[in-house]
Structure 1
């Protein structure tokens, strides 16, 4: 290996690492706020990339119908809950409107726009509008009633949600893979290393989102409420912060980040209905490097995972996944020896 090959591999690793960083940040966010190890994070990546691919093909994506079904079930649950607790009809109607408004509007726009070939940027925004609401709806239906359960129970639920989403992905998108066109076809050369416009977009989008998240958590009242929930759920509830609302917001942000990651990585690799699992798992490995607690360490871990994957594929391509996932073992051992063991009550 010479310096030119090393530079190409490093650029490729950093590009993938930037996407893994977004997924790692989403994983840390969800776990910090809700204690959920959210295994299906990668499914949002696949749903985002494949939804855009079907819009590009002029077809109505299956995510439209899935979104409407989830919203309808959530609205029915809100109605039953309101009637059970004798809530005023006006408040029930407002709750139903909040649950149904965005999914119905986004789905109607998607059905109208799909055969009309809107510009790619408009289709990407529409994809985010379709996939991002899945986070809140999935939390509402699968996790909210179990918010105080143990981490193990929440993990088991995550496994079930993962298998359900993978099966639905096969039903909605089929077994065929899709590769989206790049958002920017430019290429920039620096010696033997060529930086594509898509890679530059990935770096810029990752940096912008990280800065936006930092400003959100540091400067806004809502972000501080999420931080308070992450530090102490019981204390946050005593201060009037709704843990249910915090959980929904955390899952909604995670779904948005996952869908955005799918849009970014879609032009660089072929995405299948089950591709999200491996991609999300690499983001989870990066989050474990950070102890599922630190955003800066999650970023560093994601870049390390990307570089390890890139150089591992050069040295032994059939074993690159083994190399990446084996790297988590010394981290887990070190954290097990360093951190005190306490029983969860």
Structure 2
């Protein structure tokens, strides 16, 4: 390996690490607020990429039927809770189950966008409400369950969503048009415009999330919920709405990841699972609690994957996932055991 090859591999590692960083941030966010290890996070990636490919092929993605079904079931569940005397926030329910799904249907079935920007907005409107709807249907009824029970539910939900992905999109893979076809060569190292779009978008999104959590009232409420759910409830913070928002942000991040990587690699209905697992390995660096450490772990995972594909491509995935063992061992030595919250 010479310097030129090493720099090319490092560039690929940065691009991959940027995607894994977003996945890791989403996993840390959801776990911090709701204690859910959200295994189906990768399905948002695959759904967004394949929906974008369908729109660019001039077809309406069949995924809209899943959104309609989720919205309908959520409205039924909320109406049932209201009949039982449980207080229901109909404003937020209307946003997630009516307003945004209606916007997605209007864009996909009515406007039928042909521009890349319009298609991107349509995909985001299609994917984002799925996060809160899945939370309300699968996780909110088990809000006081143990982490193990929530993990089992995540595994089951992952299997269901992968099967639905196969049903809606088929087994064939798809790619989308790049946001930038520009190409440069600096010092013999090729650079593509799409790679810069990926890294730049991730950097902007991470910066926006930092400002959101540090400066906004809603972001501070999410941080308070993550630190102490009971204390947050005593201070008047609606923890159920915090769950909605954390899953909405996770769906947004997953959709952005899918849209960004679809022009770079062929996406299949189950591709998101591997991407999500690598994001989970990176999130473990931060103990599913630290955002900066999760980002650093993502860059390490990206570099390890890139260089191992050159030295031992047959064992690339093995080496990446084996990285979790020394990390868990190191954290077990430096982390005090904390009992699960009552």
Shift of 1:51: 0.4
Q: 2: CA distance between counterparts of 1:121 and 1:29?
A: 27
**Which of the residues 115, 118, 141 maps onto 2:114?**
118
- Listed one character per residue, the Cα deviations across residues 248-294 of structure 1 (whole Å, up to 9, x for unaligned) are 10000000000000000111100000000000110110000111111
1:341 aligns with 2:337: yes
1:33-112 map, 5 Å: 33-85=33-85, 97-98=94-95, 99-112=97-110
Distance 1:183 1:236, change over 3 A: same
Shift of 1:97: 3.5
Counterpart of 2:308? 312
Measured at CA, do residues 145 and 278 of structure 1 come closer, stay the same or move farther in structure 2, by a change above 3 Å? same
Classify the secondary structure of the residue corresponding to 1:285.
Answer: helix
CA contact (8 A) 1:27 1:254 kept: yes
Q: CA–CA distance in 2 between the matches of 1:96 and 1:199? A: 38
State yes or no: 1:214 paired with 2:210.
yes
Taking a change above 3 Å as real, the CA distance of residues 159 and 190 of structure 1, as seen in their structure-2 partners, is same
2:293 to 269, 292, 297: 297
1:86 Cα deviation after fit: 7.7
Shift of 1:94: 5.4
Does structure 1 residue 194 correspond to structure 2 residue 181? no
Per the normalisation by structure 2, the TM-score is 0.96
* 1:188 aligned counterpart, secondary structure: strand
Q: CA deviation at 1:111?
A: 1.4
**TM-fit CA distance, 1:340:** 2.3
Deviation digits for residues 200-244 of structure 1 (CA, Å, limit 9, x no counterpart): 001110110011001101110000000000000000000000110
- Paired position in structure 2 for 1:3: 3
SS of the residue 1:194 aligns to:
strand
**CA 1:183–1:319: 2 relative to 1, 3 Å:** same
Would you say 1:27 and 2:27 are equivalent positions?
yes
Could you tell me which runs of 5 or more consecutive residues in structure 1 were left unpaired when the two chains were aligned: none
TM-score of the pair, normalised by structure 1: 0.96
Equivalent residue in structure 1 for 2:162, among 166, 169, 172: 166
Are 1:332 and 2:333 an aligned pair? no
Determine if contact 2:103/2:125 at 8 Å carries over to the other structure: no
Residues 46 and 276, structure 1, Cα contact 8 Å, conserved in 2 = yes
Match of 1:267 in 2: 263
Aligned in 2, Cα 1:96/1:29: closer, same or farther, shift over 3 Å? closer
* Alignment length (residue pairs): 340
| Residues 79, 92 of structure 1: 8 Å contact kept | no
Give the gaps of 5 or more residues in structure 2: none
Task: Calculate the aligned-residue CA RMSD, in Å.
Answer: 1.5
Shift of 1:341: 2.8
Q: 3-state DSSP class of the match of 1:276?
A: helix
CA distance in 2, matches of 1:303, 1:95: 36
Taking structure 1 as reference, are residues 73 and 188 closer, same or farther at Cα in structure 2, changes over 3 Å only? Answer: same
Q: Secondary structure at the match of 2:180?
A: coil
Whether the aligned pair in 1 keeps the contact of 2:12 and 2:306 (CA below 8 Å) is yes
1:185 maps to what in 2? 181
1:165-213 Cα shifts (integer Å, max 9, x gaps): 1000000000000011110000121112111000000111011001100
